Structure 1
Amino acid sequence: MRKKVWAGAVSGMLLLGLLAGCGGGGSNTAETGTEPDQKAAGEKTEGTDKVNLRLYTYGTEEAYNWNKTLQAYEEKNPGVKIELVQLSEKGDTQEAMKKLDLEAASSAQMDILMFSDAAGYAQRVALGMAEPLDDYIAKDGFKVEEDYKVDTHLGDKVYALPGKFNPWYVILNKDHLDEAGLAVPTDWTWDDFADYAKKLTKGEGAQKRYGTYFHGPQGGGWMEFLKLKMENQPQNSEFLKADGTSNLDDPNFKATLELRMKMEKEDQSSVPYTDMISQKLAYRTQFFNQSASMLLIGSWMNTELGGTEKVPLNFNVTVAPFPKNNPGDEKGLTPVTTDYVAVAAKSKHKEEAYKFVRWYTTDGQVVQGKNIPAWSKVTNDQVAGIIDTILSGTKNPEKVDKKALVDTLIASKASAIIPPATYQSEVYKAINEEYEKLILGKQDIDATVKSAQERVQKIIDSNKK
């Protein structure tokens, strides 16, 4: 079956490349790579020992501090020049990946590649775009699962090292906690989370303040909110297992549905699903307007925690880790997003490209100073310094509980990557639709689990052919 999944990925990506190639004439930064004088950008400059490496990225200067970062590397490695190929001026990852696929199909020189998510990483590995790094890693004498907080293995091989580290966490209105006499959580369970939400809920009608707001699922997206008790497990944190079989018989799937139903229908402590859909609610305004006291979200919010011009902060904010299922469970496991930094399979200077990838995902992340690194060797003081820099760009950094934020980020780690199936969106849509029947009172939890299992199995079976 796995071969068929990868074959589907390859077919889908080739079709994507063809469709992208039929597009109109907008500017394409990466197209410069096909000019005659740049085709051999990875070659050594004639008469010198200097190596020019091309780095393909969706990251903007504002978000990634490229000038400072690449200059620092070149100063440490005077024989190397890093040429930045920005695939999207807006940092649009979908636009960037389409252009990357076109470049890969051309004669353009590629040395270092960045993928924005596990799906994009796995799909392009299936297309043969990334070089296995296992021999380089063995020579350097480290293990990815020990040196980084994100394990980038696909099967038994590693094709990329992780850059930034954006774990999910819970942000809380500290003023509301103080008002309710609640301590800032440092290690808690979903039962604790539900109890906090109930105690933080206040008022009635249009002026009601809810304990929490869940921003999903919706339209087959934001499915993290239907895997709450699956995502904090070291393995099998997805709706599908690594071998492509259904994971909906996991008791934690049903337990997540039970949690969502209890909080919305029984405790009435979470914003109703119907309000989220009908009013097209935004999670930022729900939290910063103090309509909800707690928000489960990704730590891309670090840059906004202290408030912005568009969304000001008028209260004190603190942070807590992603809740566990049971008190004795491992602490810190949470959904994580990262950058997957790879060596291009067609690079003529793989050794030099790997050396940059290793530096960039370790010391380079500290130099960059824009995100929390996935590198586990980063010290607490370094994380605190990066957070200081990030918060200094907000309107009211003094209102953010920096210690709680730093402690939460340091303790966070990702579960094992599960290579996504090519039909993942179909699975998400089916489960989302069954959840809507549940939350709208059209079927009970047992019927929801059974129907979701049956529909997902049909999707799996139809894709085996």
Structure 2
Amino acid sequence: MKRKWIPGVLAGALMIGLLAGCSSSSDSDKGGSGKGINLRLYTYGTEEAYNWKATIAAYEENHPGITVEVVNLSEKGDTAEASKKLDLAAASSEQMDILMFSDPAGYAQRVSLGMAEPLDAYIAKDNFKEEEDYKVDSHIDGKVYALPGKFNPWYVLLNKDQLDEAGLPVPTDWTWDDFADYAKKLTKGEGANKRYGTYFHGPQGGGWMEYLKLMMLNQPHGADFLKPDGSSNLDDPNFKKTLELRVKMEKEDQSSVPYSDIISQKLSYRTQFFNQSASMIVIGSWMNTEIGGTESVPVNFHVAVAPYPKNNPGDEIGYTSVTTDYVAVSASSKHKQEAYDFVRWYTTEGQVVQGKNIPAWNGVKSEDVTKIIDTILSGTKNPELVDKESLVNTLLISKASELVPPASYQAEIFKAVNEEYEKLILGNQDIDTTVANSQKRAQEIIDSNKK
């Protein structure tokens, strides 16, 4: 029996809901009234992080007769919570026109279920190539089901005051060995008041797996647990080296927050950094909207930014994990052309209007980055506390590793590797056993999903 990416019962419910959504009408659909078309956008993005009101208003002003209704699936911007609610909404035959997915695995999973409409015909009509117009390639099995919104490379946030205290400069080109050395020098105190050099927010329950690919993501190729053909990449030496780095920093140097604390206390990377409990965090640049402080999470220290660390001194700086929003047209939408029109606008001009992130759209040139950053930081409480030069320089040199098209069984791989890591970090098996078990379990999942 082939393994599926979600339990069969839920998959069945979703399929029934999707089929029903294609044939039933919705009370909230204004399309048949002749008074206009209402598009429903399902998103995990909060108003604070995505500036929806101004963004939607700008679109509606130039598209008479179209209204866009934002359906916020998580008030706190929790992507896991939003994903569950999105699946339930699909199963309940709600009117869905535009969908946002937060990661490649979630995008691929819902494409495999038939939730997203192929966009190739619309793109051909618009006469552009997705891989040329955008910095992120969103093809799955040769087809495009979503266009990318933001371009959020991962970087390192630094408490500059604590760096100054330790006599450490803001890095502009460094390795993971340098990072570990910084973390050791920044660690201070003992017990409940201990300040750690760093905090790694994952892995957790098959999510935040970037933290088990630390020394893979800074490579031009081979940055994921799977290869482009769907085969295992867990024999990559950089996977084992990442495990060695994590064990060394937590157990030997005691410079990173213990994994057991992260899980048992449900720690948050924002709290750890902004409460000054950790001096450095490796995180995505969606944090640009927060590093100057917000109403809910103020900041009272200087923040600097460093590029994602390299493995070796001779490596090229800048390769890093990149996150984006995959913005799709719902397969059940009755207004697919109008939904596509919004998706295309939102992922191009709309990103500039939104003013919250660096766009994945190549129409925004590198020389415009400083202006966009000024706009983003102006929306924070204390932009003067941000070392803008270090932020801009880091964003300018950042580039995506080769993006591996996600397999439909990727989430299963993530969960298996996560479970093996937990055995390692909690002291129940060694590194070699962890690598061997991860490889074995991954291969079993791959084999069970072969057609």
Task: Tell me the TM-score normalized by structure 2.
Answer: 0.83
Give the conservation status (yes or no) of the 8 Å contact 1:232–1:335: yes
Is the radius of gyration larger for structure 1 or structure 2? 1
The count of corresponding residues between Structure 1 and Structure 2 is 443
Structure 1 counterpart of 2:345: 359
Provide, for residues 135-170 of structure 1, a one-character-per-residue CA deviation record: whole Å limited to 9, x for no partner.
443454543333322211113222211112333221
Q: Among residues 268, 276, 284, which one is paired with 1:298 in the alignment? A: 284
Q: Which amino acid aligns with 2:146?
A: A
1:435-454 superposed matches below 5 A: 435-454=421-440
Return the offset for 1:328: 4.4
The equivalences for 1:167-186 within 5 A come to: 167-186=153-172
Distance in 1 separating the partners of 2:242 and 2:322: 19
TM-superposed CA distance for 1:180, in Å, is 2.8
Question: Which of residues 60, 70, 73 in structure 2 aligns to 1:88?
Answer: 73
Aligned to 1:45: 34
Structure 1 counterpart of 2:242, from 249, 256, 265: 256
Using the TM superposition, give the Cα deviation of residue 99 of structure 1 relative to its aligned residue in structure 2, in angstroms. Answer: 4.7
Judging changes above 3 Å, is the alpha-carbon distance between structure 1 residues 377 and 204 closer, same or farther for their aligned structure 2 residues?
same
- Distance (Å, rounded) in 2 between the aligned partners of 1:99 and 1:87: 14
The correspondence for 1:458, drawn from 427, 444, 451, is: 444
- Counterpart of 2:62 in structure 1 is 76
Query: Where does residue 390 of structure 2 map in the other structure?
Result: 404
- Return the match for 2:311 from 295, 320, 325: 325
Is this contact kept in 1: 2:149–2:346, CA < 8 A?
yes
**Contact 1:9 / 1:126 at 8 angstroms: preserved in 2?**
no
Quick check: 443-452 or 433-442, which moved more?
433-442
Asked if the contact 1:216/1:224 (under 8 Å) is kept, the reply is yes
2:401 to 408, 411, 415: 415
Larger CA deviation: 449-458 vs 437-446: 437-446
Q: Equivalents in 2 of 1:412, 1:9: separation in Å?
A: 34
Distance 1:439 1:37 in 2: 52
Residues 150 and 413 of structure 1 are in contact (CA less than 8 Å); yes or no, is this contact kept in structure 2? no
Q: Distance in 1 between matches of 2:173 and 2:335?
A: 46
Which whole-Å CA distance do the structure 1 matches of 2:10 and 2:117 have between them?
A: 18
Equivalent residue, structure 1, for 2:253: 267
Task: State how far apart, in whole Å, the 2-side matches of 1:129 and 1:232 are.
Answer: 32
Q: 1:253 to 1:37 in 2, by over 3 A?
A: closer
The 2-side partners of 1:274 and 1:422 are apart by 30
Alignment of 1:130-141 (within 5 A): 130-138=116-124, 140-141=126-127
- Equivalent residue, structure 1, for 2:176: 190
Structure 1 residue identity aligned to 2:91: L
Distance 1:414 1:11, change over 3 A: farther
Separation in 1 of the partners of 2:192 and 2:335? 62
Among 187, 196, 211, the alignment partner of 2:197 is: 211
Which letter does structure 1 place at the counterpart of 2:69? L
- The aligned counterpart of 1:25 is none
2:138, 2:405 within 8 Å by CA — same for their partners in 1?
no
> Which residue is 2:91 aligned to?
102
Q: Deviations over 1:357-382 (max 9, x none)?
A: 22211111111223332223324564
- Secondary structure, counterpart of 1:375 in structure 2: coil
What is the aligned-residue identity percentage?
A: 68
Cα pair 2:105 2:410 within 8 Å, conserved: no
Q: 1:94 to 1:355 in 2, by over 3 A?
A: closer
User: Aligned letter for 1:320?
Assistant: A
SS at match of 1:324: coil
- TM-score, normalised by the number of residues in structure 1: 0.81
Aligned alpha-carbon RMSD (Å): 3.5
Question: How much has 1:256 moved relative to structure 2?
Answer: 0.5
Q: 1:414 to 1:97 in 2, by over 3 A?
A: farther
Alpha-carbon distance in 1 for matches of 2:274, 2:170 = 18
